[in-house]
Amino acid sequence: MPEKEQGSFQTASNNVSFPDLEESILEFWKKNDVYKRSLEQRADQKRYVFFEGPPTANGKPHPGHCLTRAIKDLFPRYKTMQGYLCERKAGWDTHGLPVEVEVCKELGIHSKEDIEAYGVEPFVQKCQTSVWQYMQQWEQLTERLGFWVDLNKAYVTYHQSYVESVWWSLKSFFDRGLLYQGHKIIWWWAQGGTALSAGEVGQGYKTVKDPSVYVKFPLLDRENTSLLVWTTTPWTLPSNQFAAVNENIQYATVYDAEEDLYLVFAADLVEKIATKMKRELEVKSTCSGAELVGLRYQPPFDYFYKTDGDKTGALKSGETEAVAWRITSADFVTTDSGTGAVHEAPAFGEVDYELLVSEQDRFERGQGPELICPVGPNGKFTNEVPEFEGQWVKEADKALTKKLKEENKLYLLEQYEHEYPFCWRADEDPLIQYPRESWFIKTTQYKDKMLENNQQINWLPEHIKDGRFGNFLGSNVDWALSRERYWGTPLPIWVCQSTGQMEAVGAYEELMTKPGLTGTEVWDNAKAANPDLVDDLKVHKPYIDALTYDSPFEAGARMQRVSEVIDCWYDSGAMPFAQWGYPHQGEEEFKQQFPADFISEALDQTRGWFYSQLAISTLLFGDDPEIKFPHPFENCIVLGLMLAEGQMCVKCQHRHMEVVKKCEKCGSKVQRKTEKMSKRLRNYSAPNEIFDSFGADALRWYFFANQPPWTSIIYSSRAIKESIPQFLLRLWNVYSFFVQYANIDGFDPSSVSDPAQLSPETLASGRGYRPVEQRSELDRWIISELNRTTKTIVDRMDNYDNYVACTTLSGFVDSLSNWYVRRSRDRFWAEDKEDADKLDAYWTLFECLAATCKLAAPFVPFVTEAIWQNLIGSFGADSSAVTSVHLCDYPVADDGKIDETLSRQMNLLREIASLGLSARMNEKLKVRQPLSGMTVVLNDPIDQAWLETHDELLKKELNVQEIAYTTDAGDYVTYQVVPNFKLLGPRVGKLMPKVKAAFGAADGKTMLESLSSSGKAALEVEGESIELTADDVEVRLKANEGWAAAQGTEAVVILSTELTPELIRAGMARDLVRLIQDDRKTQDLARISRIEVEIFTNSSELRNAINENRNYIVGETLAREIKIRDLTNGEVDTFIFDQKDCTNKNVRTEKVLTEVNRASVKIVVRLTK
RNA sequence: GGUCGUGUAGCUCAGUUGGUUAGAGCGCGUCGCUGAUAACGACGAGGUCCCAAGUUCGAAUCUUGGCACGACCA
């Protein structure tokens, strides 16, 4: 921290290092326990409930996590300042395949067999320690970003209490019949013996060529006629159970003369297939698909057909039907490819399996078709297909095709190029769809309730509700819960080894009380052998599997747990209650902290955590009339995807992290490129680099203020850096300005008796403090702006709209910096330290800074804290000043201080100032050159009187001597009248274009005069007279050619451009002041030190200029004396200041002045004793 | 293939219930200011508001159909 100078405040350096500042603030928070205190002081207040979605700590945190953690910090901080109690319990997701994969990598093993060989016990132990591998990095990032969360009270999904909560919920489902066993067709990695998640499958798609076969399925009831069926997986043909057609497609029966055979397939495809076969296919008849349904056929292989071909079963309708090998109907059949008739092997395709299930559903229980699956989990044919037993199915494709050909069942064979998934870990291994036994939660039974629950959630952006999330719920399928893995919450179901009956267990203690329980010694022994083992492992595999007990279903039988663990998404979805260990413990906490007011994660959690939470909560609590929808969360911000930005060479595609002009490798042009963040490409910089170079506030502000949070956010250090000057630096500059002058003037707020939160009421007791109403207009204006800003920010933040809140805040700081401070500079420089207006300026700025700190604190917690600390510094350690800005209450707008009229007027004034500068610019008249006058033509005279009272301000800003206002534009301006479309449109309807034209033709001046005298005007259109009132007309001013003018929406400004000798001399004086000030600065003179000035010149004009403006120059430069001396030839070039080499300065000095009047000059500035 | 989203200046994005001169920041260019100064201000160039049709007096905005990109799911 900088040293304290003479004044009340510590100096605030102009080139502040935000990263260093932040480190010291982190220290301060730690030392003063600020986070803890922010909770303690709200202990009795209404709760604002936040749920932390648990990240997986076994990977490094990346920029996307910074975004989620930033937004998760913002709203709790805001709500805490607003007076709510917002506890923030951290959490960690610790189970699942990613952890196992990580450990496998470390061990250099792959398959489940490898894991079994290594030993499940040591494997699980390794998983448990592995999840903490990157914990330190996570904690460091969390702290550095300023994310306040209780890391030491974190919930952990592998903890025993957590696991038991999950068990309790699953037992509830089991007992209510919502947990059942079934088949699921999954993408199966046969070589590795494991299923792959959708995400993993998605990673492994490759374009490959597979055989594509058109196979003849002879129809039993039609002589010499075959259904033509298409498939790209010949190996599934032995498992054929049905052929599917679409009822709404037309099918043709064609005659193939060459084979003397009739074929049935989609009518639309006849030509295509005839072309492929290079044969004439004569269409004999057509029929709809519906007419084909029910026809029986002979499948190409008879491994099952030979025994079951004639098997029939009883339908629920009372009729009897063949269980298999007949034509069924399915919507998914199209004529996009193939033949419009699809081979169905339900074991090896998800839609095929669904078809089987719906077929089974038509039959009486036990009468329908059973799943045919002659392939083992190793991907090889079983002895049910003796000819190919032991062959890897994909390799059997060829032999099977050959056999079809030999038996004259193959009609056509071709190669088919398509995308097919391979294992992402072993990319030679194609995946196959394969049926596995699996446990399901019957979420479909609660679909309507979930939808109803969803309707009441406030989603941001809104379209998630009925869009992505709503649709997902609408097409809900039962949740496949079980995983045939090792590191996860064990499925708490025990099976009777004799009868197969099952029961669920809801707690470890419950298990301990089971009759005849054995197996506890397995854990005890492990613990004895290694006392460091964490106790939570005893509810995990393999220890939990060792526990067996007497069956309640049959005497003498034993109960043994099923082997599966559960989907780790279930773990995280159970966190609303499991984080407290509910219901075994933590009942009070659960009741207080359910449901959540606020959660936020990225879009990818739609089907992840957002769904798992909603599903579990709805199934568990949806029937409880006490618990109202929505739960378990009410407001949810869905964050956009984060993209990386890099520079990519257009030629060699080499990526550059930094902005470079040419490619480092090949010298070609580089282009900015946004793309997905990728670990492999390393196309983004680590969060720590951002923290170290720009700071956490910069990153946070960039996230909050540059776009609504749900759009995709480009993570680029360039963009983050560029966002700093606009807000952070501007705020800092205002603050630094304040500190500089407050110290010079000895402004000391410590006379305030009870500073507390530095709110207007408490500041009122300060020395020299006057009520706002008594202060100057500029002060009243900025205070009004402050309250307007406060009102908007609170409104926006209450609606979870951080983006507009930030834009508003940034706009206020801009007004403060670029108008209030800019226009108040003179007041701060005033000679008399006790001047009331000067003190007003200090108190106003002080109040604005204090309030801005509070407003900005949730967004940029570091810099606001740093400023706050200095603002309260003068009060001393024992004062009532609140220790930290984060312990303050969030500001509330004071409507009484909002002055909309003043706001409008000040905007107009600023616009006129802008226009004046613009007009000067066009005439190339620099601001240092005074001008005699300026005329302002107002669009609307309503504010003229007000503006006239601000002549001084505008004169100073624009450096003009006189300002005149007029509504009589004279020669300067032409009035244009345009219709107010919004008002006139509905009134005149189709006449509008004509009205517009009539306006164009009308004389604006006349119409305006009529309006101002009688309040109305008439317009002739198509023989009709349309009466207009003032509201129907918009007036625009247009500056005429030939004037130094600038036009805006509200006014036109015209400058007097004639330069008299007096004006030129005044300009020279101002130039001189500028040069003297420059020299003072170069010599590093203190701002208040007095000087004497010697001016060497031979120019009589310049001498006159000095003499005429002596008071002005003396006043501006704090000169005690100005001496004018002769300049001898050549002196300019050789002159050197007393202490410094100022050659360059001299050159510049000469240049500046010669531009004006071709006078040479040199200036000597000396400090007076 | 399905669902959802996005398409506006060189880049990143705003744009309220449809209203006729479509905005901001950055970048670029020109200029200015000068005791907040490694800051700041003004001005300028730059737009087929993805395309097409429709509704309407009037469409960046509403409807329909395309196209492109992205995400998720198949």
Q: What CA–CA distances, in Å, run from A563 to A164, A490, A493, A546, A618?
A: 17, 8, 9, 11, 27
What is the C-alpha to C-alpha distance for residues A478 and A279, in angstroms, rounded to an integer? 48
Residue A1010 pLDDT > 90: no
Q: Which nucleotide is nearest to A959 (CA to C1')?
A: B33
Q: Which nucleotide is nearest to A922 (CA to C1')?
A: B43
Is the N-terminal amide bond of A552 cis, ω within 30° of 0?
A: no
What is the C-alpha to C-alpha distance for residues A1151 and A319, in angstroms, rounded to an integer? 109
Residue A5 pLDDT > 90: no
Bridge partners of A254, per DSSP, are A263, A283
Ranges A133-137, A441-445, A900-904, A1096-1100: which has the least confidence = A1096-1100
> Is residue A179 classed as helix, strand or coil in its secondary structure?
strand
Arithmetic mean of pLDDT over chain A: 84
Given a contact cutoff of 8 angstroms between Cβ atoms, the answer to whether A251 and A266 are in contact is yes
Ranges A538-552, A803-817, A1096-1110, A1140-1154: which has the least confidence = A1140-1154
Q: Stretch A922-930: mean pLDDT, rounded?
A: 74
What is the C-alpha to C-alpha distance for residues A388 and A376, in angstroms, rounded to an integer? 12
Q: Distance, angstroms, CA A908 to C1' B26?
A: 27
**What is the band of A671 on the pLDDT scale with cuts at 50, 70, 90?**
low
Backbone angles phi, psi at A1006, to 5 degrees: -60, -45
**What is the band of A198 on the pLDDT scale with cuts at 50, 70, 90?**
low
Q: Considering only CA atoms, name the residue closest to the C1' of nucleotide B20.
A: A981
Q: Stretch A243-267: mean pLDDT, rounded?
A: 83
* Residue A1000 beta carbon within 7 A of nucleic strand B: no
Highest mean pLDDT among A261-265, A614-618, A1160-1164: A614-618
Instruction: Please give the pLDDT value at position A1149.
Output: 37
Q: Distance, angstroms, CA A349 to C1' B21?
A: 61
Q: Distance, angstroms, CA A649 to C1' B25?
A: 26
Instruction: Please give the pLDDT value at position A573.
Output: 94
Q: Distance, angstroms, CA A1054 to C1' B35?
A: 32
What sign for the dihedral angle of Cα A281, A285, A288, A293?
negative
Q: Are strands A642-649 and A713-715 parallel, antiparallel or unpaired?
A: parallel
Q: Distance, angstroms, CA A456 to C1' B15?
A: 29
Per-residue model confidence as pLDDT tens digits over A256-307: 878 888 888 888 777 777 777 788 777 888 888 888 888 889 888 888 888 8
Count CB atoms within 10 A of the CB of residue A770: 16
* Residue A606 beta carbon within 7 A of nucleic strand B: yes
**What is the band of A669 on the pLDDT scale with cuts at 50, 70, 90?**
low
What is the C-alpha to C-alpha distance for residues A727 and A735, in angstroms, rounded to an integer? 12
Is the N-terminal amide bond of A858 cis, ω within 30° of 0?
A: no
Q: Which nucleotide is nearest to A1078 (CA to C1')?
A: B34
What is the C-alpha to C-alpha distance for residues A996 and A1121, in angstroms, rounded to an integer? 67
Per-residue model confidence as pLDDT tens digits over A382-394: 888 888 888 888 8
**Is A144 buried (19+), middle (13-18) or exposed (0-12) by CB count in 10 A?**
buried
Q: Distance, angstroms, CA A787 to C1' B43?
A: 32
Q: Stretch A187-207: mean pLDDT, rounded?
A: 70
The residue written with tokens 């006057």 in the block is A770
Nucleic chain B contacts, protein chain A, residues 716-735, CB cut-off 7 A: 719, 722-723, 725-726, 729-730, 733-734
What is the C-alpha to C-alpha distance for residues A613 and A807, in angstroms, rounded to an integer? 33
Residue A1 pLDDT > 60: no
What is the C-alpha to C-alpha distance for residues A828 and A1157, in angstroms, rounded to an integer? 34
Nucleic chain B contacts, protein chain A, residues 417-436, CB cut-off 7 A: 419
Instruction: Please give the pLDDT value at position A425.
Output: 67
Q: Considering only CA atoms, name the residue closest to the C1' of nucleotide B69.
A: A675
Residues 6+ apart with CB under 8 A from A604: A641
Instruction: Please give the pLDDT value at position A1134.
Output: 30
Q: Considering only CA atoms, name the residue closest to the C1' of nucleotide B30.
A: A921
Q: Stretch A645-661: mean pLDDT, rounded?
A: 64
Q: Stretch A1108-1125: mean pLDDT, rounded?
A: 83
Residue A1157 pLDDT > 50: no
* Residue A1080 beta carbon within 7 A of nucleic strand B: yes
What is the C-alpha to C-alpha distance for residues A154 and A372, in angstroms, rounded to an integer? 48
* Residue A316 beta carbon within 7 A of nucleic strand B: no
Q: Stretch A1106-1122: mean pLDDT, rounded?
A: 83
Rounded to the nearest 5 degrees, what angle is found at the Cα of A169, between the Cα atoms of A165 and A170? 115
Instruction: Please give the pLDDT value at position A679.
Output: 67
- Outline where A746-892 has alpha helix (H): 760-763, 777-798, 802-815, 822-829, 836-856, 861-873
Instruction: Please give the pLDDT value at position A200.
Output: 62
* Residue A467 beta carbon within 7 A of nucleic strand B: yes
Question: Which nucleotides along chain B are within 7 A of a protein C-beta?
Answer: 3-6, 11-14, 19-21, 25-27, 31-43, 56-58, 70-74
Instruction: Please give the pLDDT value at position A1144.
Output: 30
Nucleic chain B contacts, protein chain A, residues 814-843, CB cut-off 7 A: 814, 817-818, 821-822, 825, 829
**What is the band of A997 on the pLDDT scale with cuts at 50, 70, 90?**
confident
Given a contact cutoff of 8 angstroms between Cβ atoms, the answer to whether A661 and A670 are in contact is yes
Residue A653 pLDDT > 70: no
Residue A655 pLDDT > 90: no
What is the C-alpha to C-alpha distance for residues A974 and A241, in angstroms, rounded to an integer? 87
Higher-confidence position of A1023 and A298: A298
What is the C-alpha to C-alpha distance for residues A352 and A237, in angstroms, rounded to an integer? 13
What is the C-alpha to C-alpha distance for residues A1140 and A514, in angstroms, rounded to an integer? 93
The token pair at A209 is: 């060529």
Given a contact cutoff of 8 angstroms between Cβ atoms, the answer to whether A1098 and A1160 are in contact is yes
Q: Measuring CA to CA, which residue among A422, A548, A566 is closest to residue A485?
A: A566
Higher-confidence position of A1141 and A868: A868
Calculate what percentage of chain A has a pLDDT beyond 70.
91
The residue written with tokens 């509330």 in the block is A892
The residue written with tokens 């901080």 in the block is A77
Per-residue model confidence as pLDDT tens digits over A130-150: 999 888 899 999 999 999 999
Q: Stretch A685-690: mean pLDDT, rounded?
A: 85
* Residue A1166 beta carbon within 7 A of nucleic strand B: no
What is the C-alpha to C-alpha distance for residues A87 and A90, in angstroms, rounded to an integer? 10
Q: Distance, angstroms, CA A450 to C1' B51?
A: 40
* Residue A474 beta carbon within 7 A of nucleic strand B: no
* Residue A604 beta carbon within 7 A of nucleic strand B: yes
What is the C-alpha to C-alpha distance for residues A312 and A300, in angstroms, rounded to an integer? 20
Instruction: Please give the pLDDT value at position A192.
Output: 72
Q: Distance, angstroms, CA A1049 to C1' B23?
A: 15
Q: Stretch A1089-1104: mean pLDDT, rounded?
A: 79
User: How many residues comprise chain A?
Assistant: 1169
* Residue A198 beta carbon within 7 A of nucleic strand B: yes
Calculate what percentage of chain A has a pLDDT beyond 90.
31
Residue A838 pLDDT > 60: yes
**What is the band of A508 on the pLDDT scale with cuts at 50, 70, 90?**
very high
Catalytic residues of A: 54, 93, 569, 605, 609, 676, 679
Angle at which helix A696-705 crosses helix A18-32, to 10 degrees, equals 100
Q: Measuring CA to CA, which residue among A19, A12, A62, A13 is closest to residue A862?
A: A19
What is the C-alpha to C-alpha distance for residues A759 and A850, in angstroms, rounded to an integer? 8
Nucleic chain B contacts, protein chain A, residues 1058-1077, CB cut-off 7 A: 1070, 1074, 1077
